[in-house]
Amino acid sequence: MPRYRLTIEYDGGPFVGFQRQTNGPSIQAALERAIERFSGEAVTIIGAGRTDAGVHAEGQVVHFDLLADKGPNEVQGALNHHLKPDPVAVLDAAVAAPDFHARFDAVGRAYRYRIVNRRPPLTLDRGLAWQVPVPLDAGAMHAAAQHLVGRHDFTTFRSAHCQAQSPLKTLDRLDVSRHGAELTVIAEARSFLHHQVRSMVGTLKLVGEGKWTPDDVAAALEARDRQRLGLNAPPDGLYLTRVVYPAK
């Protein structure tokens, strides 16, 4: 029974999230349906991360098992055919080790958040970025972000519905940069709490507006209190860009 590893991208806008749910379409259900149409087998796929409704991916990784032995190229082509018209694409397919686990074997995850800092409404990027019409100071946001790098109790930046056993996480990188009208926030860690990236970005936006100082961000982190959160950014601008696994 071969195990397959897929790297996929998707527009999260039409979905209730990655994980299969009863209240609407999910990326997981779309993939499982495409696999069954291709192979005739009902399978359960495992993803490296459970992105929320409206969150996108450029490098999500999943795995699944088949009874039939199919070539990776055949798997990729067939799934991309059967995924239509859903905005999900298989970028790469490979036969994985029998014990490979997309979620538990991951040693790092990277996210990018896009902010378009302009007054005119979004057209091409509607649903794919967060539009902020007031001027933002990317340098101040980056300076504030450094207070969050390292190992901390991220209770303030954790959803009330987060199911993680501990609020302790090690944030390896949180960078803010500007390229023209677009601000990019890069976040890297082994794993994240539910809504952690969106909560950090929303709070940094307040710094960019001049409503908060970098010291206010440090104080909010130290408070370990969700009520001290500045703002939760919308899902539109968030992308899971990369999942890292140990080198074999």
Looking at the structure of the chain, the number of domains it has is 2
Q: Are residues 182 and 213 in the same domain?
A: yes
| Domain identity same for 87 and 123 | no
Q: Are residues 65 and 128 in the same domain?
A: no
- For 51-97, write each residue's pLDDT tens digit: 999 999 999 999 999 999 999 999 999 999 999 999 999 999 999 99
Angle at 193 between CA 147 and CA 99, to 5 degrees: 125
Phi, psi of 233 (to 5 degrees): -65, 150
74 and 130 co-located in one domain: no
- CATH number of the domain that residue 61 is part of: 3.30.70.580
Residue ending a domain, among 62, 96, 130, is 96
Enclosing domain of residue 74: 3-96
Domain's final residue, options 69, 96, 123: 96
Walk along the chain (248 residues) and give the pLDDT tens digit of each residue. 899 999 999 999 999 999 998 899 999 999 999 999 999 999 999 999 989 999 999 999 999 999 999 999 999 999 999 999 999 999 999 999 999 999 999 999 999 999 999 999 999 999 999 999 999 999 999 999 999 999 999 999 998 888 888 999 999 999 999 999 999 999 999 999 999 999 999 999 999 999 999 999 999 999 999 999 988 999 999 999 999 999 86
Q: Are residues 82 and 115 in the same domain?
A: no
Q: What is the residue-wise DSSP string for 173-214?
A: EEEEEEETTEEEEEEEES---TTHHHHHHHHHHHHHHTSS-H
Return the pLDDT at 230.
Answer: 83
- Indicate if 35 and 117 belong to the same structural domain: no
Distances in Å between the Cα of 136 and the Cα atoms of 19, 174, 177, 210 are 34, 17, 11, 8
Express as a percent the part of the chain with pLDDT over 70. 100
| pTM of the predicted structure, to 2 decimals | 0.95
> What pLDDT does 160 receive?
82
**46 lies in the same domain as 129:** no
What is the C-alpha to C-alpha distance for residues 32 and 23, in angstroms, rounded to an integer?
17
Last residue within a domain, chosen from 53, 75, 96 = 96
Residue 103, domain member (yes or no):
no
Q: Spot the catalytic one: 11, 52, 92, 215.
A: 52
Residues 121 and 240 in one domain: yes
Same domain, 200 and 120: yes
Is residue 52 part of the annotated active site? The answer reads yes
Examine residue 101 and state whether it is found in any structural domain, yes or no.
no
Residue 73 contacts residue 93 (beta carbons within 8 Å): yes
* Integer CA distances (angstroms), 164 to 73, 123, 145, 167, 180, in order: 36, 37, 23, 7, 37
Tokens of 27: 């990326």
If you search the block for the tokens 């495409």, which residue do you land on?
34
Domain presence at residue 235? yes
On whether both 157 and 76 belong to a single domain, the answer is no
Give how far Cα 180 sits from Cα of 117, 135, 177, Å. 9, 12, 10
Answer yes or no: do 45 and 123 share one domain: no
Give the model's pLDDT for residue 38.
Answer: 95
Same structural domain, 193 and 219: yes
